[in-house]
Structure 1
């Protein structure tokens, strides 16, 4: 039933599509058994239809991009072509880090449809686990591995300039989703916008203060320029705790439809920023049985471990491939251990400050912008929710403006605890 024309699939047309697509039907059972497939639509995201399809011998996930933003409707059109970039990024990330990216079984460009591995229970969205207060002992280990490998191997530290430019060109068409990020992360929160919202009336003055903070605006303009101009590596582009599925021993990165060649710190910062949001939300989820204080310490420990392990793994890959094809730091020039160490220190220090800046910008937009996070939204008491959000917002504003004064992640964590004591 494959076709050259796009049409949104529903449960009945999806069955026919799967039966006509061997790459999908073979995962589910014999074609003669596929009339009674179980199909569940689980797309609680902002953009797409997502179906879990279960047959006699297995399950698959089918994701279809719509030509508009699902959570707003047809009044905000959105390119369907993002499915191509998502499928391409998933395949590239799976090549570089197969343990932490679900396998793609099938991609249909005309239908904007991806069929991929179903991450079976007990996998849940990390954000939901953080709200529930569940510790994941391997989270920092796994996320740092994924970040280090996907960012290093798609950068000029490893690629030739010719390879890198070819790869940049492959993703530069993902302009609409980049523009969406530019708008909702770097622009809307700092001006009056019909899409902005916040916990009103509690945060009315806080939202106004963001719009009037000239130093904040100068810093966010610099970050926006970096985001738009710096094709440093293939980034996921939406690396938050809702794009990670976890169990106690598995961590899987999903939904890279915002992928393009951009600044490495945007991915690292997005993840750490969302951990900070989870941290600041914990008081809203505490009760008389669990004050969440131990869990808050675990979150901060995970922030530190993620950065420190990423730093260690990324620089280890750099050392391992220092005589490889990468064309930024040619061995003939950077020939002494002392110079190589200087170069690494400068690079990682700049990346650290990018990470803090982008992480802070992602936090701000989740509090006074269009798309909020369940960490806060699930706190029923609006006054309590606003208190948690205000502390997060105050920290994020400080971090964005003062990020260059921090040299170690432990210094950042100390400032969190001072602000939150």
Structure 2
């Protein structure tokens, strides 16, 4: 297939970056000095894009450029570079709603499909910190805030219906990125697909069992229907632990190129599911059994706090910052009406909770049996040990997807994770 690029598009090389940025006054001022003082290095290790870090005497920036194909696969899988436009629009909306947790944008070039943003340092990708066993005391607080503020602001509760429809129309054309999610997350792990891969032969039987599990397959398709049909809010669309940059004091969500108006539970579930993957992977990073028991407990506490604070903050916004055309405060003035509103909020958050668990299970499954895996598991050198961690994660994923409605709260889901590990963990040799 021919690559689809706009007139004037070209992919930048390291040697091109400095001369390009010299023509962007705001960026040149940020970097300081002259072009000869700037240092450029390409650091992209993701699946889709080029990423350059540029440092000058006064500061640094990151330049991210969309390639016209999936970088993980190559030119045999074309992908429109217009995804950079949707990412820019999403960053603008997120910055308005949750400015403390979105990197500053200095420049956007639609023709070259590139964005220049703040260089976050000494921040690291959350996933790498989880592999190293680093505790981030403010992570749960910050991510609960980001989720509550961005999802509420773009929902029918946070904005008027006309504004939401207009904004939603803007993202409806992000078809190709949505299609990637629809196929890779909700469909491919449950069928024979060329792109699928897993730890073989250790997981051969497990992969075959997933493909023949009717209830699990049905659950995946039910969640796919939600993903395709429930335009609740502008969602990040890919909020895994590789899309979050952290220090002990700061947290930023990055890379929302998969953004569109979809079900809120997908974003919440993506984060929760990736934290569960980190939880089960810890056995593969221990030098002796039980070494990371304390860290495993911290991960589960983080999951519980993320949901608990998200629930509290979303409800608080509903009660104090309502801006939509549904559940308007004036409709619920008396005590009995307030009780009815409380019941509606309880039901709303309950549905969101079950959705989050199920979407989290979908994300866990695809990261073990699908195309793109996670470093949490892939960095475990011993394939037998890695496979045991992955089997545990798959077992919880099925429970979250098929039986999620039986959990009365996030604590119960965490207890299910502990139970899976107790029942299936093997002591490493």
Q: CA RMSD in A?
A: 1.2
Task: Return 5+ residue gaps in structure 1 as ranges.
Answer: none
Q: Deviations over 1:260-290 (max 9, x none)?
A: 1110000000000000000000000011397
Give the SS at the match of 2:403: helix
2:12 to 9, 15, 40: 9
Q: CA deviation at 1:25?
A: 1.2
CA contact (8 A) 1:100 1:252 kept: yes
What residue is the counterpart of 1:257 in the other structure?
Answer: 257
1:309 maps to 2:312: no
Quick check: 2:103–2:117 contact (8 Å CA) kept in 1? yes
The equivalent of 2:220 in structure 1 is 220
**Aligned pairs for 1:114-263 within 5 A:** 114-121=115-122, 123-263=123-263
Paired position in structure 2 for 1:21:
24
Cα distance in 2 for residues equivalent to 1:193 and 1:289 = 36
1:325 to partner: Cα distance? 3.3
Unaligned runs of 5+ in 2: 1-5, 423-429
In structure 2, relative to structure 1, the CA distance for the partners of 1:283 and 1:172 (3 Å cut) is: same
> With structure 2 as the length reference, what TM-score do the two structures score?
0.95
Contact map agreement 1:8 1:66 (CA 8 A) in 2:
yes
Alpha-carbon displacement from aligned partner over 1:3-53 (angstroms, at most 9, x marks no partner): 9600000112111111112122121114xx112421010100000000000
Summarize deviations over 1:213-249 as a string: whole Å, max 9, x none: 1111111111001101111101000000000000000
Query: Matches of 2:8 and 2:347 in 1, distance apart?
Result: 50
The answer to whether the 8 A contact 1:86-1:258 is kept is yes
Inter-CA distance 21–4: structure 2 relative to 1 (3 Å threshold): farther
How far 1:205 sits from its partner (Å)?
A: 0.5
Give distance in 2, aligned partners of 1:402 and 1:230.
21
Question: C-alpha displacement at 1:404, in angstroms?
Answer: 0.6
- Confirm or deny: 8 A CA contact 1:91 1:103 kept in the other structure: no
Deviations 1:306-363 (A, max 9, x none): 0001001110111113xx4311213454441111101100000000000000000000
SS of equivalent residue, structure 2 residue 136: coil
Alignment of 1:14-413 (within 5 A): 14-30=17-33, 33-121=34-122, 123-288=123-288, 291-321=291-321, 324-335=322-333, 336-413=337-414
**Secondary structure of the corresponding residue to residue 418 of structure 1:** helix
Instruction: Rate the CA distance shift 1:55–1:290 in 2: closer, same or farther, 3 A.
Output: farther
Between the aligned partners of 1:395 and 1:58, the Cα distance in structure 2 is: 44
* Matched residue SS, 2:154: coil
- Matches of 2:300 and 2:145, distance apart in 1: 19
User: What secondary structure does 2:60 align onto?
Assistant: strand
Query: Contact between 2:19 and 2:35, CA under 8 Å: does it hold in 1?
Result: no
Q: What's the secondary structure of 2:76's corresponding residue?
A: strand
